[in-house]
A and B are shown apart, each in its own frame.
Chain A
Amino acid sequence: MSETAAHTTSRTAAGVAPPRVAVALGIVALALLILPLLGLTLRAPWTRAGELVTDPVVRQALQLSIMSSLAALAISVVLGVPLALVFARFDFPGKPFVRALAILPMVMPPVVGGVGLLAAFGRRGLVGRPLEGLTGITIPFTPAAVVISATFVAMPFLIVTVESGLRMVDRRLEDAAATLGADRWTILRRVVLPSLWPSLAAGMALCWARALGEFGATITFAGNMPGRTQTMPLAVYLELERNPEAAYLLSFALLAVSVAVLVALRERFLTAT
């Protein structure tokens, strides 16, 4: 027995099996991740689903969430893809620092983002004060503030995904196109973008999901007003105090959207190869 022990290290399809301790800890991790989803599914009052969907507060929140997250996605594509191109194709002094600043919202607490947005675009803010002085426009408490909050936290997800996609585009094709006389626009349109499509799609899905779930920056910068700035996550938070059953059902609806995003991204995340 002792002679063979060294040779019984079991192999799985993926390679050498991990120690059993790791397997046990992994199961605990899985339970921690899955139990809340299970709880949500079991506690949601399915029989009331119909009446909640027609509830004006829920409908308004859903509508606002969808519109504002799609607007944030559109802005992120229009502004984020060019920034990803700059990061992937240019070298300039201090680039690592600038790049770190640009993706900081991915790792910072969203509430901090909300406070920062107030400091920039609030009525006393860097941009907000001159904006109000010149045009009379104020941003906080408006649907625009909801879109700005969502864009702020979600655009970095698009930028990093697209940037890493750009790094994988075959540079020789671009060089060949340039040799053949194509200008920068043509190369971007005909060579880069077609091979970038999978990363762009993945980046858009991540960006949209993050925008849809935005809470902290929104409640801080945009406030909470049904029909105007109250998105689904805000409605969930406030409904929990008034009508917990509705909060469970709304949470499940948001969860379903997240699942849909993961399924759409299955090529990237579910197969892990």
Chain B
Amino acid sequence: MTSGRPAHGRRRPVGPAGDGVTPLRSRVRAWLLPLAVVALTAAGCGAQGDGAASGRVSGELVVFAAASLNDAFDALGDAFGDEYPDVEVVANFAGSQTLASQIAQGAPADVFAAANTTQMDVVAAAGGLSAAPEVFTTNRLEIAVEPGNPLGIDGLADLTDPGVQLVLPAEEVPAGSYARQALEAAGVTVTPSSLERDVRAALAKVELGEADAAVVYASDLVVADGRAEGVPIPPRYNVAAAYPIAVLADAPNPATAAAFVDFVLGDQGREILAAHGFSAP
């Protein structure tokens, strides 16, 4: 404060100029509330694809995909982007049940790829699909164990050993419901340590060394890249997990969404899925 500048130097002088100031203030006020409302609404809506109105394959494409599809759909998104440079694929990966509930709550998504028909049916029942879903790939279960399988886990029956720290995906998670089917088919009753919110969270517990075993998809162990290894589950107990995909009824960018679904179902899509440990439908 040694500069001698008055403390409120930047203030508009009041008094004689007061009459000139008031209209400006009320104009500011008049703008402010709608502005705030617009800001709040925009925050809820997110961006819309350029291709939305035109029907062109371009703009932002929002894909909601099961957690197990994470790496495969990252690669699919990149390949799709190579084919259509005007498209930006944005993916949201989570347990299919989480995605289904987000879609039900109005999340702005174009495509839904689920790990089972149950969660796709949840969205369909609410009128959330623009066309019938198609199965684009299948998966099977394996037991994820630590590298080198130090506990010598050979199959589902070994998971009952109280010395085995087992985690399963929660029952609402598709992988969790498949795991329960497999355990039931094998006549095995287990006491898991934790029920994880998606299949990758269950795998991560094994990769971190916190759990000895988790029931996950064979495709998950392809991406585990040595941090966990797979113990096969015999076909008589195993399940064929069918993954359906569909364009959503409220898709902001339906033309691009339809092109993406075709791409996933096409030869290139199938190739990428196979490279990530998924099987043909």
- A interface vs B, CB < 8 Å? 1-3, 5-6, 19-21, 24-25, 28, 32, 118, 122-124, 138, 140-141, 219, 222-226, 228-230, 237-238, 240-242, 244
B32 touches A241 (CB 8 A): no
Min distance, Cβ B116 to any Cβ of chain A, angstroms? 14
With A241-B98, A241-B101: A225-B14 Cβ-Cβ less than 8 Å: no
CA–CA, A6 and B193, complex, Å: 71
User: B18, B40, B167, B172: which contacts A238 (Cβ < 8 A)?
Assistant: B172
Q: Is B46 an interface position by the 8 A CB rule?
A: no
Contact mask B143-167 → A, CB, 8 Å, 1/0? 0000000000000000000000101
Min distance, Cβ A55 to any Cβ of chain B, angstroms? 15
User: B28, B40, B210: which contacts A140 (Cβ < 8 A)?
Assistant: B210
15 intermolecular pairs with C-beta atoms under 8 Å apart = A2-B15, A5-B14, A6-B14, A6-B15, A21-B32, A124-B208, A140-B210, A141-B165, A141-B210, A141-B211, A223-B195, A238-B172, A238-B197, A241-B97, A241-B172
CA–CA, A215 and B220, complex, Å: 26
A20 touches B25 (CB 8 A): yes
Q: Is B266 an interface position by the 8 A CB rule?
A: no
User: B15, B28, B210: which contacts A123 (Cβ < 8 A)?
Assistant: B210
A5 touches B15 (CB 8 A): yes
Specify which chain B residues have a CB less than 8 angstroms from the CB of A25 in the assembled complex.
Answer: 32, 36
Min distance, Cβ A90 to any Cβ of chain B, angstroms? 37
B29 touches A1 (CB 8 A): no
CA–CA, A223 and B202, complex, Å: 10
B170 touches A2 (CB 8 A): no
Specify which chain A residues have a CB less than 8 angstroms from the CB of B33 in the assembled complex.
Answer: 24, 28
User: Interface residue tally of chain B, by bracket?
Assistant: 20 to 34
With A118-B210, A122-B210: A224-B196 Cβ-Cβ less than 8 Å: yes
A138 touches B167 (CB 8 A): no
Closest residue to A19 on the B side, CB-wise?
B25
User: B19, B98, B100: which contacts A5 (Cβ < 8 A)?
Assistant: B19
User: A20, A226, A244: which contacts B29 (Cβ < 8 A)?
Assistant: A20
Min distance, Cβ A231 to any Cβ of chain B, angstroms? 13
B14 touches A118 (CB 8 A): no
Specify which chain A residues have a CB less than 8 angstroms from the CB of B36 in the assembled complex.
Answer: 24-25, 28
Min distance, Cβ A5 to any Cβ of chain B, angstroms? 3
B194 touches A224 (CB 8 A): yes
17 further A-B contacts with Cβ under 8 Å, apart from A2-B16, A19-B25, A226-B195, are A5-B14, A21-B25, A21-B28, A24-B32, A28-B36, A123-B209, A124-B208, A141-B165, A141-B167, A141-B193, A223-B195, A224-B197, A238-B170, A240-B101, A241-B98, A242-B97, A242-B172
Closest residue to A220 on the B side, CB-wise?
B201
Specify which chain A residues have a CB less than 8 angstroms from the CB of B16 in the assembled complex.
Answer: 2-3
Min distance, Cβ A93 to any Cβ of chain B, angstroms? 35
A223 touches B32 (CB 8 A): no
Closest residue to A238 on the B side, CB-wise?
B170
Closest residue to B96 on the A side, CB-wise?
A241
B172 touches A223 (CB 8 A): no
Specify which chain B residues have a CB less than 8 angstroms from the CB of A222 in the assembled complex.
Answer: 194
Specify which chain B residues have a CB less than 8 angstroms from the CB of A3 in the assembled complex.
Answer: 15-16
CA–CA, A21 and B27, complex, Å: 11
Q: Is B192 an interface position by the 8 A CB rule?
A: yes
B208 touches A118 (CB 8 A): yes
B208 touches A225 (CB 8 A): no
Specify which chain A residues have a CB less than 8 angstroms from the CB of B209 in the assembled complex.
Answer: 122-124
